[in-house]
A = this chain, B = another copy of it.
Amino acid sequence: MQEEYSHLTERQLESEQVFNGRLLDVRRDRVRLPDGNECLREYVRHQGAVVVIAELADERLLFVRQYRYPLRRPFLELPAGKIDAGEELLVTGRRELLEETGYLASSWRHLGVMHPCVGYSDERIEIYLARGLTRAAEQTPDSNEFLDLLSLPLGDALAAVQSGAITDAKTITALFWAEKVMRANW
């Protein structure tokens, strides 16, 4: 694998942390390009996240609406959240589903992984399908998170992608998987 792509591979020469915030860890690395030249690569280091396709008994999917400050507007998204240090993926999935929606799920299936921002972040987002849902509690989001909870049938969610009402890439990617699993038996 490494050998096969050696004509594409960039090698780290030096790494520097240029910003260390509460959320963002930003690096600037000096790298050796495949042609021998040098170049700087700037990127965000991220602990990874989990997104949950949570299917209710009536086949509706749980969504949250959340204001996304970088874009200055609310987004309709599937429940998701960051992996705490050392946390098992499934624990993250259960925790975020409960915090953001108040639901527990009896069945969890890992579908795949996506990389939202390969050009300037090492973030990965693990995709889970959660079924057997029961309402267990009120939502308990983080103190700086404000969420509306809603549910949509898969068909309405797909139509919301078409109309531009859903544009969040992790949500579209997970809906792509949801449609395959729920309709095409992946």
How far apart are the CA atoms of A18 and B33 in the complex, in Å?
A: 28
Q: Is the CB of A119 within 8 A of B161?
A: no
* A150 CB-CB contact with B under 8 Å: no
Residue pair B71, A122 in contact (C-beta under 8 Å): yes
Residues of A within 8 A of B (CB): 5, 7-10, 18-19, 21-24, 26, 28-29, 31, 33-35, 37, 39-45, 65-71, 74-75, 77, 112-125, 143-144, 146-148, 158, 161-162, 164, 167-170, 172-173, 175-176, 180, 186
Q: Given contacts A39-B144, A116-B116, list 17 more A-B pairs with CB under 8 A.
A: A7-B146, A21-B40, A23-B120, A26-B26, A31-B69, A37-B143, A68-B118, A70-B118, A70-B122, A71-B124, A113-B164, A116-B117, A117-B123, A118-B168, A172-B173, A173-B176, A176-B176
